[in-house]
Amino acid sequence: MQIIVLGSGTSIPHPERASPGLVIQFDSTSILVDPSSGSLHRAERYGIPIKEIDYLLFTHFHPDHTGDLGPFLFALRNTEYFGSKTVTLIGPAGLRALHSQLLDLYGDWIRLEEGRLAIREIGEERLEFSDWAVTALSVPHTENSIGFRFSDARDNVFAYSGDSDYCQKLIELSRDADAALIEAAQPSALKLPGHLTPKLAGEIARQADVKQLIITHLYPVCDGYDLVAEIRSSGYQGRAAVAHDGMKITL
Ligand SMILES: [Zn+2]
Ligand SMILES: [Zn+2]
């Protein structure tokens, strides 16, 4: 599988870090996780035409993780670009309400023809598809936040925290992962409730035996810190990197 980071930042505008979001390309399926505002255009910039996106996955419903849902549905109505492609939305409880509230707001401008949109609300469970699988577990951030563990047909494993504070379930999701993209909003000295730090992300990666840790969801204040050194202060010995927009991870 190949992972492309669309945004390594937050809702706070930063010249080089857009809001969260990533694309995961499997053998014949592409999924967009956390479609923040602008993520569709950035996907095109990084070589992923949105007509290739088959699934939209959501970790939670904060605006910096959902902003392009309406624009995505609006774009799909241009059948000269997209044909009659069907797209499936997958996310925690509340996804249907989010969609129906957007419909209340935008009406027919984002309404797709019958059969072109599927919505699946999930709890703590594993879903299996032809060339990929995902396990979701609850994480502490909002009432319904989840994190993901993806695997491909060759059993490569990629974990994504979404937004989360420290918890055992993130360790479970990341167990022996080939790569884990874990949020580390601000350094330890400025830790935000409901979010991790580089050191805590390293702690999770160390306990889960992750081969490669990449930290993301970085607030602008992170620019002034040596984030890899903070990861190392956890004792994590695997490969460690700081995400950047457009980063590709191939497993
Ligand atoms: Zn959030
Ligand atoms: Zn966020």
Whichever domain contains 177, its CATH number is 3.60.15.10
pLDDT of residue 85: 84
Ligand at shortest distance from the CA of 141: 1
Give 212 Cα–ligand 1 centroid separation in angstroms. 23
Ligand at shortest distance from the CA of 140: 1
pLDDT of residue 176: 98
Give 115 Cα–ligand 2 centroid separation in angstroms. 31
Q: Which two tokens stand for residue 128?
A: 């299996």
Backbone angles phi, psi at 157, to 5 degrees: -120, 135
pLDDT of residue 181: 98
pLDDT of residue 163: 98
Ligand at shortest distance from the CA of 218: 2
Comparing C-alpha atoms, which of 66, 62, 60 is closest to residue 144?
60
Domain count, the chain: 1
Q: Where are the alpha helices (DSSP H) in the chain?
A: 39-45, 63-66, 69-76, 79-82, 95-106, 168-174, 198-208, 227-232
Ligand at shortest distance from the CA of 36: 2
Neighbour tally for 231: CB within 10 Å: 28
List, as ranges, residues with CB under 5 A of the ion ligand 1. Answer: 62, 163
pLDDT of residue 24: 98
Comparing C-alpha atoms, which of 230, 220, 41 is closest to residue 21?
41
How far apart CA 118 and CA 52 sit, in angstroms, is: 16
For the chain, the distance separating the N- and C-terminal CA atoms, rounded to the nearest angstrom, is 5
Q: What is the bridge-based pairing of β-strands 132-138 and 248-250?
A: unpaired
**216 contacts: CB under 8 Å, gap ≥ 6:** 5, 8, 20, 181, 182, 183, 184, 243
Give 63 Cα–ligand 1 centroid separation in angstroms. 8
State which residues form the domain around 115: 2-250
Give 62 Cα–ligand 1 centroid separation in angstroms. 5
Digit-by-digit pLDDT tens for the chain (251 residues) are 999 999 999 999 999 999 999 999 999 999 999 999 999 999 999 999 989 999 999 999 999 999 999 999 999 999 888 888 899 999 999 999 999 999 999 999 999 999 999 999 999 999 999 999 999 999 999 999 999 999 999 999 999 999 999 999 999 999 999 999 999 999 999 999 999 999 999 999 999 999 999 999 999 999 999 999 999 999 999 999 999 999 999 99
Give 58 Cα–ligand 1 centroid separation in angstroms. 11
Ligand at shortest distance from the CA of 62: 1
The residue whose two tokens read 């599988």 is 1
Give 156 Cα–ligand 1 centroid separation in angstroms. 27
